[in-house]
Amino acid sequence: MTTTKIRPIRTDAEYQAALKEISPLFDNEPAPGTPEGDAFEVMITLIEAYEAKHFPVDLPDPIEAIKFRTEQSGLTVADLAPAIGRTNRAYEVLNRTRSLALPMIWK
């Protein structure tokens, strides 16, 4: 990677080329503070900016995130009781008939 080739990424072709250029460096990352390391860091920043603009990722819905995590961990609604409250309250939250309260979110 040479520093003279660094420029903004504006098209998908430029994005793909930037990915191709830096992907070998992930296995042997250049040392920070070196010219190669600085170029690598700048390219990563440019790629992240392009991805943020063209491939935005929305934050997950809190209830869906709880359901996903519960399922992935093999937990039951009863296992949510320490964080949410009694089992019936957990069902109300998961069915969206009760809102998440701040103490529930913290837990």
Reported as a single tens digit per residue, the pLDDT across 17-57 is 999 999 999 888 999 999 999 999 999 999 999 999 999 98
Residues 43 and 81 in one domain: no
**What global pTM score does this model have?**
0.57
CA gap 12, 18 in Å, rounded: 10
Residues 45 and 86 in one domain: no
Residues 74 and 95 in one domain: yes
Structural domain span for residue 66:
62-106
Residues 9 and 49 in one domain: yes
| Banded pLDDT at 85 (limits 50, 70, 90) | confident
Number of H helices, E strands in the chain: 6, 0
